[in-house]
Amino acid sequence: MKRVKAFLALCVVIAMAFSVTACGPSAPETETVAFSVWTMEWDFFQIMALGAEAAAKEAGVEIIIHDQKGDQTEQVSGATNLLNQGIIAFGISPFAPDAMPPIVDQAHALGIPVVISDIGTGGSDHDGFIFSDNFGGGVMNGEFALKMFEESNLTEKTYASLRSPPVGVVSQLRNDGAGQVLDAAGFTRVAEIHTDDTTEQGYSVMMDILAANPDISIVIASNDAVAAGVGQALLDAGRTDAIVTGFDASDQGIEGLRNGTIQATIQQFPYDMGYRAIMVALALARGESVTYDNPQMKEIHVAVSLVTANDIKDSLAEQPVSITGLTRGDIGMG
């Protein structure tokens, strides 16, 4: 009987040993972050999302990408859904900045830091705001347009400023910067209009402006989509001498530089915006320190550069998307 009991006890010990060996300590679940973009229809935000994905991969975390589809309801409902999926950090480039305060409050209630990339914060209690030097880029456009004006045979010192929708608070700085340069040079602003950021409206608005100001010399567009419409309207009206500037160095902007309907655009680096948004959000989630360019407003600025016809590459795939020199081709975008 003693031998049987000893044998049974030994079996229990062996079974326990195998159980521990087979299962071992449970492996920690992979952490997950999320990134929400204005719309995946535009290559600018596609590139931003790729930057966010690269950051997540480098940091060893999973990432969920959400497309707001240019819709405030989708922005809010999508963000709510993401925050309830157990993520540890959240990056977002909002379609509607004014809708951000309750999103940020919900995230903070769950202990999730929120880093906003581009567009605007809506006055929210965000943990970081990453955006391009829009005002500096606007100044670059204004100075270039002024230089071209002085080198051409144009004499009409007038310009139009086509802005993004008012909700794009950061985007307004582009027109502010260019306007400051042109106003100081004695130009008269004959039109200042908020567009819907589409090529179609850029075209129709420019046609209306030309009806009242056929000799206008300079048009400052808030982005390349609007600039493309402006350039086509000028071309259709027989105005091949007017100066048009855009912003973003998107595929439309580069094409406009190639065909001469746009004279300058500003290269933003959306890849860096998405990358840094995730890295900063993760650092905050892990209790690490973050360096801000403007600590009071929790701002982190991303550099921009002027692009003219002399700067464009032989193919769109060679166009840089990062200050590091990374190109569209490097990230799989031709």
Q: What integer is the mean pLDDT of 293-304?
A: 94
Instruction: Give the pLDDT confidence of 159-199 residue by residue, as tens digits.
Output: 999 999 998 888 999 999 999 999 999 999 999 999 999 99
Lowest mean pLDDT among 8-17, 124-133, 299-308: 8-17
Give pLDDT, residue 251. 83
Strands 128-132 and 158-163: unpaired
pLDDT at 16: 39
49 CB contacts (<8 Å, ≥6 apart)?
Answer: 35, 37, 40, 65, 274
End-to-end CA distance of the chain: 80
Higher pLDDT among residues 257 and 314, named by residue: 257
Q: What mean pLDDT value characterizes the chain?
A: 91
CB 247 within 8 A of CB 218: no
Give the residue, 66 or 312, on which the prediction is more confident: 66
Q: How much is the pLDDT for 15?
A: 40
Q: What is the pLDDT of residue 315?
A: 83
The C-alpha torsion from 253 through 210 and 135 to 201, rounded to 10°, is: -60
Q: The pTM is what?
A: 0.76
**Band (110; pLDDT cuts 50, 70, 90):** very high
What domains are there in the chain, each with its CATH number? 32-126+269-302 (3.40.50.2300), 134-267 (3.40.50.2300)
Strands 305-307 vs 265-267: parallel, antiparallel or unpaired:
antiparallel
**In the numeric block, which tokens belong to residue 315?**
């193919």
Average pLDDT of span 64-89: 98
Q: What is the pLDDT of residue 153?
A: 85
